Structure 1
Amino acid sequence: MSNEIHAHAVLNLLREQSMTEEALRDVIVKEHGNDVRFRTCSRSGFELDGLLEFFKEKQKVTVESGIWSLNAERVCSH
């Protein structure tokens, strides 16, 4: 059975420290397992690949020279 966590858990990792996509994926899998699913304020059922694409599409992260950083201006505050 998969577990589902709020996407803010991932964004909070980037709030603490910018990192490469590979490092981010490693932390997420280590903390939540391979079968984790994600939900946002408006959607649920994301796999990790879909969530990361969602973050880029919604400009919740910036990626420069392979380093992912939080775009705090685009993250809701709850």
Structure 2
Amino acid sequence: MLSIHGHEVLQMMAGNSYTDSSLLEAIEQQFGKNAKFHTCSETNMNAEQLICFLKLKGKFKPVNNSGFTVNEKKICRH
């Protein structure tokens, strides 16, 4: 199975705001429910694990009281 880089999820998020559940739904719609993801330092993550990882790495910023978007300053460009 092909693994998708987390950068693709971050790029998908640009210009939109999400909650955990709406981001999970958007990822599943875009990449499929069984998609696997990797980053520069982690591999073999499902969508829920990727969301947790990206949060821990500070890749999101708050947008309103209940949502967040991608912190574009924190996207690696390699």
TM over 0.5: yes
Q: How does 1:1-78 map to 2 (within 5 A)?
A: 2-63=1-62, 64-78=64-78
Query: Which stretches in structure 2 are left out of the alignment for 5+ residues?
Result: none
Q: Tell me how many residue pairs correspond in the alignment.
A: 77
Higher strand share: 1
Identity across aligned pairs (percent)? 29
What secondary structure sits across from 1:45 in the alignment?
A: coil
Q: CA deviation at 1:17?
A: 1.3
RMSD over aligned CA atoms reads: 1.6
| Letter of the 2:22 counterpart | A
Query: Which stretches in structure 1 are left out of the alignment for 5+ residues?
Result: none
Runs of 4+ in 1 over 4 A off after TM superposition: none
Q: CA deviation at 1:57?
A: 0.8
What secondary structure sits across from 1:56 in the alignment?
A: helix
